[in-house]
Structure 1
Amino acid sequence: MSTPNGIDQRVFDLYDEYCHGRIDRRAFLGQAAVVTAGGLAMAQALLPRYAEAQTIAFTDPRIKARYVTYPSPGGNGGTMRGYLVQPAGSGPFPAVLVIHENRGLNPYIEDVARRLAVEGVLALAPDGLFPAGGYPGNDDDGRALQASLDPARLRTDMLNSARHLKAHALSTGKLGVTGFCWGGGTSNYLAVTMGGDLLAAVPYYGAAPEAASVPGIRAGLLMHYAERDERINAMWPAFESALKQGGVPYEMHLYPGTQHGFHNNSTPRYAEQAATLSWQRTVAHFKKHLA
């Protein structure tokens, strides 16, 4: 089946397997070459091009960006590093944690933090790979590095990052979170773990939390899903049922014709219309709940 950008859906499906570590780069390229004519070229076109991800320059006068370190007891290394971006001015500002995919703090996620800062938000994008040396500069090595970390301790590093941001001198103490892929699932984890300390959560195509933990959510939930994302979408019916049974308010949007990762503008999975609309909704959601 062909998609609007001409890439065979079977190649997209293989890319999803590759992105989530179920096959390696060689297998992805090799299998893509077999499933359809021109499959290898399609597969190569799906690899990220991070120069295209930058929409807000790191020197933009509307923001101030820097890397910061902070304690992370119980995490993978005891210390974390993140990319902190503030709007120009003295603050304080509402705060949003930006959680990366399953490959560390790459240029796309840093740009998302800058996008939030120009909207008046203090944004922190932690690098979960910092205890293992940090994002290595490419996604293949980043994915392998993240897979090598203790997952529970990695979640603790994200929880500590959220607490650090909430208490930051530039923060109003009103905290939200957004995340993508692994970061979307971790956004759901923070929503159930932090209770009333988290006011808003916007997971993008994130794995659902355990149903029993859902009634603990106090954050305003806005969830974005891709239509062609079987693994993640299969979790939604049970998640929705738990939300309804727990009386947890939520808003969910499913974007027609999109792939997992549709917000990431560094690969052809990017769907401009859906990404733009979802981002408008995300910004409005944070302004509503963190004002």
Structure 2
Amino acid sequence: MTEVVLFHHAQGLTRGVAAFADELRAAGHTVHTPDLFEGRTFDSLDEGQGYVERLGFGEITERGVRAAERLPRDAVYAGFSLGVLPAQKLAQTRAGARGALLFHACIPVPEFGTAWPDHVPVQVHAKESDPFFAEDLDAARALVSGRAAAEMFLYPGEQHLFADNSLPSHDPEAATLLLQRTVEFLSRT
């Protein structure tokens, strides 16, 4: 059993994010889903991004870090899109991190002021033609390049939040494969 801290995307802690967490729980893992938006959810990505821009990306990241302070250190940090900010920062900088699962986004490693820890495995999952992920692709390639415990999976298509089953962008086939790969990753950490 692995402790997982799963951060939501810019539309908030949606039913789809909660359902994904439940799938991981059903596989035997303990999953924490901090709500970085204090109960707010948004009907569109644009609305959610507007809220995030008002708060600031730094504030979102720090809300995630503060939420993790109450949780076990030996966790795998996971995030959907916006949630990759706190997930990647914690995996990269918090002692005891067991791994990182970066869904739909990847931040350049230098952003958090330290090299990626060699002992922290990572997976990056995104659609190959996702216009949002296009700006993160170089960072993802740099993160996984030359690391034995690093993998990047690119799925056919362009949907951004394809693993959230409560959104129109949901792709059941790709989401099932992402979930399978996630469960396999967690079984190894």
TM-score relative to the length of structure 2? 0.83
* Residue of structure 1 equivalent to 2:102: 203
Structure 1 residue 95 corresponds to structure 2 residue 3: yes
Q: Is the 8 A contact 1:182 1:207 kept in 2?
A: no
C-alpha distance in 1 between matches for 2:167 and 2:43: 12
Unpaired runs of 5+ residues, structure 1, are 1-92, 167-172
Residue 265 of structure 1 and its aligned partner are, at CA, apart by 1.6
RMSD (Å) for aligned C-alpha atoms: 2.5
Q: 1:123 aligns with which of 7, 27, 31?
A: 31
Residue 124 of structure 1 and its aligned partner are, at CA, apart by 1.0
* Residue of structure 2 equivalent to 1:261: 161
Q: 2:70 aligns with which of 139, 156, 164?
A: 164
Q: 1:186 to 1:232 in 2, by over 3 A?
A: farther
Q: 1:249 to 1:100 in 2, by over 3 A?
A: same
C-alpha distance in 2 between matches for 1:261 and 1:225: 9
Identity %: 25
Equivalent residue letter for 1:151: F
C-alpha distance in 2 between matches for 1:227 and 1:214: 28
Q: Is the 8 A contact 2:84 2:105 kept in 1?
A: yes
**3-state SS of the aligned residue for 2:162?**
coil
Residue 242 of structure 1 and its aligned partner are, at CA, apart by 5.1
C-alpha distance in 2 between matches for 1:235 and 1:214: 18
Equivalent residue letter for 2:97: L
* Residue of structure 2 equivalent to 1:139: 43
Greater gyration radius: 1
More strand by share: 1
**3-state SS of the aligned residue for 2:76?**
strand
C-alpha distance in 2 between matches for 1:214 and 1:259: 31
Equivalent residue letter for 1:191: A
Structure 1 residue 223 corresponds to structure 2 residue 124: yes
Output aligned runs, 1:24-43, within 5 Å.
Answer: none
Q: 1:235 to 1:187 in 2, by over 3 A?
A: same
Q: 1:155 to 1:108 in 2, by over 3 A?
A: same
- For 1:110-134, what per-residue CA distance to the aligned partner results, in whole angstroms no more than 9, with x for missing partners? 222222211111111111122xxx3
* Residue of structure 2 equivalent to 1:270: 170
Equivalent residue letter for 1:120: G
Residue 239 of structure 1 and its aligned partner are, at CA, apart by 4.0
- For 1:23-79, what per-residue CA distance to the aligned partner results, in whole angstroms no more than 9, with x for missing partners? xxxxxxxxxxxxxxxxxxxxxxxxxxxxxxxxxxxxxxxxxxxxxxxxxxxxxxxxx
Q: Is the 8 A contact 1:178 1:201 kept in 2?
A: yes
Q: 1:239 to 1:224 in 2, by over 3 A?
A: closer
Q: 1:283 to 1:215 in 2, by over 3 A?
A: same
Q: Is the 8 A contact 2:20 2:164 kept in 1?
A: no
C-alpha distance in 1 between matches for 2:68 and 2:152: 23
Q: Is the 8 A contact 1:179 1:202 kept in 2?
A: yes
Residue 238 of structure 1 and its aligned partner are, at CA, apart by 4.3
State which drifts further: 155-164 or 227-236.
Answer: 227-236
C-alpha distance in 1 between matches for 2:133 and 2:85: 10
TM-score relative to the length of structure 1? 0.56
Q: Is the 8 A contact 1:211 1:239 kept in 2?
A: no
Residue 284 of structure 1 and its aligned partner are, at CA, apart by 0.9
Residue 143 of structure 1 and its aligned partner are, at CA, apart by 4.7
Equivalent residue letter for 1:255: Y
Equivalent residue letter for 1:160: R
**3-state SS of the aligned residue for 2:128?**
strand
* Residue of structure 2 equivalent to 1:45: none
**3-state SS of the aligned residue for 2:63?**
helix
Residue 150 of structure 1 and its aligned partner are, at CA, apart by 3.8
